[in-house]
Structure 1
Amino acid sequence: TVDGNDIRTLNVQHYREHFGVVSQEPILFGTTINNNIKYGRDSVTDEDIEKAAKEANAYDFIMEFPRKFNTSVGEKGAQMSGGQKQRIAIARALIRNPKILILDEATSALDTESESVVQAALEKASKGRTTIVIAHRLSTILRADMIVILKDGMVVEKGTHAELMEKQGLYYSLAISQDIKKADEQMESMAYSTEKNTSSIPLCSVNSTKPDTDKSEDSIQYKETSLPEISLLKIFKLNKSEWPSVVLGTLASVLNGTVHPVFSIIFAKIVTMFENDGKASLKHDAEIYSMIFVILGIICFVSYFIQGLFYGRAGEILTMRLRHLAFKAMLYQDISWFDDKENSIGALTTILAIDIAQIQGATGSRVGVLTQNATNMGLSVIISFIYGWEMTLLILSIAPVLALTGMIETAAMTGFANKDKQELERAGKIATEAVENVRTIVSLTREKAFEQMYEETLQTQHRNALKKAQIIGICYAFSHAFVYFAYAAGFRFGTHLIKAGRMTPEGMFIVFTAIAYGAMAIGETLVLAPEYSRAKSGAAHLFALLEKKPTIDSYGQEGKKPDVCEGNIEFREVSFFYPCRPDVLILHDLSLSIEKGKTVAFVGSSGCGKSTSVQLLQRFYDPVKGQVLFDGVDAKELNVQWLRSQIAIVFQEPVLFNCSIAENIAYGDNSHVVPLNEIKEVANAANIHSFIEGLPEKYDTQVGLKGTQLSGGQKQRLAIARALLRKPKILLLDEATSALDNESEKVVQHALDKARKGRTCLMVAHRLSTVQNADLIVVLHNGKIKEQGTHQELLKNRDTYFKLVNAQSVQ
């Protein structure tokens, strides 16, 4: 109940408008920071947005971007670091000015400096509103009016922090293990530190550095016009492996094309046959011609069947092959290629679903129809010239008009096909984003906004379609009308020729029927022109994709594949910027050596280059300057697949696939079919086995799209199990335990400690309790190493690390 009302009796939209939600894995939409915050509430001013950003401690890092609030966050917020995403999501929740604020692990993705400031901002924001906080880190809820401890879906304890500490129950044991008492004592004396001029840089921002110009529209137009011109021959070459089918289909088409000209001769003879007075000869002739018609019918039946079967088969095999090639080409592109907003999910799925289907419009059964019509027209003209060249020339003089209307129609269709493609890609992107992030949209009550965005995107395509309909209508009307004008002129001229004795009635009917069928064939060919133009447009996009060679070829066999990977890693004077944001250096001359079997932790504020270093190790990108070495060998000299097979990673936001738990874990090692006992073994090591066994379908339980059926901690443990299955030499942990509650974290931390033995391990962490036991702790700031050493050594330095530790009370 809310205010004494059962929530089922309240209007859903109105009810949800009073909520502000910040979830553990914040979802941002592929637009600007400004628009993302605006999704919180309609009709907000720029001042409101700035105020919300300041309250969420996001203002400073936003103002460092060249385009400030107009910076694009990328698809799913991929151009922002975890902490930056979280703060934008908090600003979005605060701008709603909600009566009820729900914080589901709202500060889990933040580094210590930011966390303390954001925590203060959230505490300020929660004044005067009902706030529900879900937390694993008890330091974030010390000042709550009531703390409720849940176990197995039931309330086991509730009260304030002080009351629960006195009870010495479940809360007390959690607090002790998190060293809250010490934090409690420090709470009064510790002032919240502000985020000191941290250069928070997004992973990659695709916008222009000029603040007032948005080149996105221009770049789309430019890309469209700069696509290569694809010839019909190049499209046909794609079908060359099906040549026997194509040859048989073509022969059948040629045969089909000869049927109509032959029919025109027989038809003219039948019409003139009725001039004969002899009834006996009339019956005899009728029987012969009727039999010829039957034979023509049988020929048609067989040849059309062969044409349809073999061309259809060749076309479908081609479509399947192209879809496979296109998907494969996408999978093996550079990661930087996906950073480009032209290659959004919507655009890429459009290539697979629509473009390739359209290519069939210029191949397959359509080629059969073209061959058939060309044969038909060619033979018709030859026969017509034999029986009456003067009349044939007259009728053919109208043919250029038909050809011209066909050309206009094709040109118009090609132009519209390209424009439609752009609009449909944008619409597809909006639809995909909306369906994938439906929970966020519903909680923000922004269904209407997405509905309108989708409708507006379709409007342009709708207007194009209306223009297209007018052009096609005029061309269609012209071509059909002129056929009848040709009849009128032909009959009048034919009568004159018969009178003058330069032509027989039979000749006139042959010419007329042959040319009429020829004209119909031209008409049919013109109808196919739009499909051909769409096929050319689709083929241009496909070939652009297939011919795009990645700089880091993860499919190639070249490169060294050493027999043994020791696990020694070295960053040698590495400098790096993201290809789509060359004006901002993320790493500056980073040099670091990691010995095999050692555990190294990277700590520092959001956007300092921690996750970037992990991506360079996996060779998602190559350094702009310097080298990343594995066992003394430059990563560029190693085979990419071999290199990645030696590495396992557990991300901050784990990605699961829409299949069963067992299949998700088995994805860790695709070199063989993984037996269930091996899956159970790693699940046990990641502390998820007992939870899975408690499910009705156990390991066959479906995790849902992106793992939505599981909680954050459960997803994280599945991802850890998947990583352990690889038996990697190098283990990368990017905030691997940030989503876990205290109990699980201890067990998983223990499992990870076990898993790290004998392996080189690189950890990225905000929570310093997870890195105390590391052999080396590296503090990064603005892409440079500020200090490095063990936990104890760094504490003695009393520098950045010492301050971070103090803020987290980890000593």
Structure 2
Amino acid sequence: MPGSVKLRSIKKFGQENNAYDIADEGQNGDYMTMSTSKDTKNTKDKKEQPAIRVGFFQLFRFASCREIMMMITGSLCAVVHGSAQPLMLLVFGMLTDTFIEYDIELQMLEDPGKHCLNNTIQFRNLTEEENLELNMTRSCGILDIEYEMTNFAYYYVGIGAAVFILGYFQISLWVTAAAKQIQIIRMMYFRKVMRMEIGWFDCNSVGELNTRMSDDINKINDAIADQVGIFIQRFTTFVCGFLMGFVKGWKLTLVIIAVSPLIGVGAALMALFVAKLTGQELQAYAKAGAVADEVLSSIRTVAAFGGEMKEVDRYDKNLISAQRWGIRKGLIMGFFTGYMWFIIFLCYALAFWYGSSLVVDTQEYSPGTLLQVFFGVLIAALNLGQASPCLEAFASGRGAATIIFETIEREPEIDCLSEAGYKLDKVKGDIEFHNVTFHYPSRPEVKILDQLSLPVKSSETTAFVGPSGAGKSTAIQLFQRFYDPKEGMVPPCS
């Protein structure tokens, strides 16, 4: 027969004996050699591709109209919730000015030479005209401090009640919408895995699939659930804080905002590095989980060959890789977190130094205005820094979604649920291998069958005879259509 590699006999009972050529390499063999080759190939393929290939908004691709409305409503609640802190500062500034005015009035009236006349503080021993000449125009007796404090208390109660309601809807709507989407993702991922051809499972171990169904999908859930609402809330506080600062005191705000780009650059760089390192870390842990699952599922074989320590070492090597990526991510996050807080505290010092000169020297700002501007810009900067953990969750979710979504979108080469294709009207039972060449997807460099041609008639008993690794199981699996041949064909039974 053409294409002979190594001779192996296939005996056909019912007709005279014939010999056919089958390659000596099969799928079965040393389990350690096979798994190592597979891991090396998968590692090379993964290194050639970026760790994250999914945009943030692509995480919501499975959201229905109902979930979209829930997320929009939750976002609106987050926006109003985020504006509550700057609004509270407005009330706080007015409260401060009221206290200062009342305190100044009390201190001036404690002077025995002054008294309150016609709602104006005047000297006792001078006439009204003489007091006007001395510019004694400070009012008195008008401010009811108890009434004013009661109004401020009502303001704070109203803000607190609104924040309670808005915070509830903000978190509950986003979490509910995310739970429904995650349910769809889990269902679609498992269904697509069940439709994959056997060759796909040769290149993706069961342990890796289990890891992705548990850990990776949970990371996607973290990225599209309450973290989004919290990020919108903090970003709104950041925007509203700076807007209030510009309205109340643009000079001080400009001085503080001059250093704000340093915070933004730090947050952007941290998100970039964390996104890349998270993807690499997830791949390393998935690979380690695949090794553990492979060994545990074949523990009898491992024990029979005395390979326990070898498999422990192989698992440890994969954990070391994951540990390395995790340490790098921790170093990057620690550095940029410290960097951003360093810039924020520098903003404190700058704001107090310049703001005090505006109040004391030039008297452009009142003390309440200074506190409004300072704390407004300060809270804005703080919320921008506190939004960085949300960016980490988004990056982790994008990294985890890369393989999940690519698996969902992948069309299997042999679709067991497809209705397309030729359907036989009548089955007789004849089988024929016509110039079949084949290699397994996990080992494309090893040719298993080379130009195999073999007819098998119905009503006959055919036995494939040969040592382990001769390709006997491969021929049966091709007939069962676990795989498709790379060249040649196995025509349908007729």
Structure-2-length-normalised TM-score: 0.79
* Pair 1:621 & 2:483 matched: yes
Q: Which SS does the other structure have where 1:360 is aligned?
A: helix
Cα pair distance change 1:571/1:217, threshold 3 Å: closer
Q: Which SS does the other structure have where 2:101 is aligned?
A: coil
Question: Partners of 2:421 and 2:22 in 1: how far apart?
Answer: 39
Question: Partners of 1:604 and 1:452 in 2: how far apart?
Answer: 37
Partner of 2:175: 312
* Pair 1:466 & 2:327 matched: yes
Partner of 1:600: 461
Q: Which SS does the other structure have where 1:327 is aligned?
A: helix
- Measured after TM superposition, the shift of residue 409 of structure 1 is 1.9
- C-alpha contact (below 8 Å) 1:573/1:625 kept by paired residues: no
Q: Deviations over 1:34-84 (max 9, x none)?
A: xxxxxxxxxxxxxxxxxxxxxxxxxxxxxx99xxxxxxxxxxxxxxxxx9x
Q: What are the within-5 Å matches in structure 2 for residues 323-334 of structure 1?
A: 323-334=186-197
Cα pair distance change 1:574/1:506, threshold 3 Å: same
2:90 to 241, 254, 265: 265
Partner of 2:163: 300
Question: Partners of 1:619 and 1:440 in 2: how far apart?
Answer: 27
Cα pair distance change 1:261/1:465, threshold 3 Å: same
* Pair 1:351 & 2:175 matched: no
Question: Partners of 2:274 and 2:169 in 1: how far apart?
Answer: 31
- C-alpha contact (below 8 Å) 2:438/2:487 kept by paired residues: no
1:223 to 22, 41, 46: 46
Q: Output the amino acid matched with 1:368.
A: G
Q: What are the within-5 Å matches in structure 2 for residues 157-172 of structure 1?
A: none
- Measured after TM superposition, the shift of residue 565 of structure 1 is 4.8
- C-alpha contact (below 8 Å) 1:574/1:624 kept by paired residues: no
* Pair 1:507 & 2:369 matched: yes
Q: Which SS does the other structure have where 1:601 is aligned?
A: strand
- Measured after TM superposition, the shift of residue 585 of structure 1 is 4.9
Question: Partners of 1:436 and 1:570 in 2: how far apart?
Answer: 34
Q: Deviations over 1:481-516 (max 9, x none)?
A: 222211111111112222313323222111112112
Q: Deviations over 1:516-547 (max 9, x none)?
A: 22112111211222222211211221222122
Q: Which SS does the other structure have where 1:238 is aligned?
A: coil
2:100 to 268, 275, 290: 275
Q: Output the amino acid matched with 1:293.
A: Y
Partner of 1:321: 184
Question: Partners of 1:569 and 1:444 in 2: how far apart?
Answer: 41
Residue correspondences, number: 432
- Measured after TM superposition, the shift of residue 603 of structure 1 is 2.5
Q: Which SS does the other structure have where 2:483 is aligned?
A: coil
- Measured after TM superposition, the shift of residue 299 of structure 1 is 0.9
* Pair 1:255 & 2:85 matched: no
Question: Partners of 1:421 and 1:205 in 2: how far apart?
Answer: 30
- C-alpha contact (below 8 Å) 2:278/2:329 kept by paired residues: no
Q: Output the amino acid matched with 1:239.
A: A
Q: Deviations over 1:359-404 (max 9, x none)?
A: 2232121111122122222222221111111111111112111112
- Measured after TM superposition, the shift of residue 561 of structure 1 is 4.6
- Measured after TM superposition, the shift of residue 251 of structure 1 is 1.9
Question: Partners of 1:204 and 1:404 in 2: how far apart?
Answer: 54
1:232 to 39, 53, 56: 56
Q: Which SS does the other structure have where 1:500 is aligned?
A: coil
Q: Output the amino acid matched with 2:172.
A: L
- Measured after TM superposition, the shift of residue 284 of structure 1 is 1.0
Question: Partners of 1:229 and 1:628 in 2: how far apart?
Answer: 38
- Measured after TM superposition, the shift of residue 288 of structure 1 is 0.8
- Measured after TM superposition, the shift of residue 305 of structure 1 is 0.9
1:285 to 145, 148, 152: 148
Question: Partners of 1:244 and 1:366 in 2: how far apart?
Answer: 17
- Measured after TM superposition, the shift of residue 225 of structure 1 is 4.3
Q: Which SS does the other structure have where 1:588 is aligned?
A: strand
- C-alpha contact (below 8 Å) 1:577/1:584 kept by paired residues: yes
Greater helix share, structure number? 2
Cα pair distance change 1:292/1:232, threshold 3 Å: same
Question: Partners of 2:387 and 2:284 in 1: how far apart?
Answer: 28
Identity of aligned residues (%): 21
Cα pair distance change 1:631/1:466, threshold 3 Å: closer
- C-alpha contact (below 8 Å) 2:252/2:351 kept by paired residues: yes
1:527 to 382, 389, 403: 389
Q: Deviations over 1:568-595 (max 9, x none)?
A: 3331524131253365251534241533
- Measured after TM superposition, the shift of residue 449 of structure 1 is 4.4
- C-alpha contact (below 8 Å) 1:569/1:629 kept by paired residues: no
- Measured after TM superposition, the shift of residue 294 of structure 1 is 0.9
Q: Which SS does the other structure have where 1:552 is aligned?
A: coil
- C-alpha contact (below 8 Å) 1:272/1:506 kept by paired residues: yes
Partner of 1:437: 298
Partner of 1:577: 438
Question: Partners of 1:294 and 1:390 in 2: how far apart?
Answer: 32
Question: Partners of 1:490 and 1:560 in 2: how far apart?
Answer: 78
Question: Partners of 2:298 and 2:38 in 1: how far apart?
Answer: 27
Q: Which SS does the other structure have where 1:576 is aligned?
A: strand
Partner of 1:557: 419
Q: Which SS does the other structure have where 2:144 is aligned?
A: helix
Q: Output the amino acid matched with 2:358.
A: L
- C-alpha contact (below 8 Å) 1:198/1:605 kept by paired residues: no
- C-alpha contact (below 8 Å) 2:93/2:372 kept by paired residues: yes
Q: Deviations over 1:693-720 (max 9, x none)?
A: xxxxxxxxxxxxxxxxxxxxxxxxxxxx
- C-alpha contact (below 8 Å) 1:569/1:628 kept by paired residues: no
Partner of 1:536: 398
- Measured after TM superposition, the shift of residue 631 of structure 1 is 4.8
Q: Output the amino acid matched with 1:254.
A: V
Structure-1-length-normalised TM-score: 0.49
- Compare 455-464 and 286-295 and name the one that shifted more: 455-464
Q: Which SS does the other structure have where 1:602 is aligned?
A: strand
Q: Which SS does the other structure have where 1:623 is aligned?
A: coil
1:386 to 244, 247, 250: 247
Q: Deviations over 1:84-127 (max 9, x none)?
A: xxxxxxxxxxxxxxxxxxxxxxxxxxx999xxxxxxxxxxxxxx
* Pair 1:244 & 2:69 matched: yes
Question: Partners of 1:347 and 1:262 in 2: how far apart?
Answer: 50
Q: Which SS does the other structure have where 1:229 is aligned?
A: coil
Question: Partners of 2:304 and 2:461 in 1: how far apart?
Answer: 40
Question: Partners of 1:426 and 1:497 in 2: how far apart?
Answer: 61
Q: What are the within-5 Å matches in structure 2 for residues 109-120 of structure 1?
A: none
Partner of 2:125: none
Q: Which structure carries more relative contact order (alpha carbon 8 Å, separation 6+)?
A: 2
Q: Which SS does the other structure have where 2:431 is aligned?
A: strand
Q: What are the within-5 Å matches in structure 2 for residues 384-783 of structure 1?
A: 384-441=245-302, 447-498=308-359, 499-561=361-423, 565-571=426-432, 573-580=434-441, 581=444, 584-586=447-449, 588-595=451-458, 598-606=459-467, 607-632=469-494
Cα pair distance change 1:367/1:432, threshold 3 Å: same
Q: Which SS does the other structure have where 1:496 is aligned?
A: helix
Cα pair distance change 1:552/1:218, threshold 3 Å: closer
Cα pair distance change 1:466/1:389, threshold 3 Å: same
Question: Partners of 1:558 and 1:215 in 2: how far apart?
Answer: 32
Q: Output the amino acid matched with 2:188.
A: L
Q: Which SS does the other structure have where 2:319 is aligned?
A: helix
Question: Partners of 2:309 and 2:48 in 1: how far apart?
Answer: 34
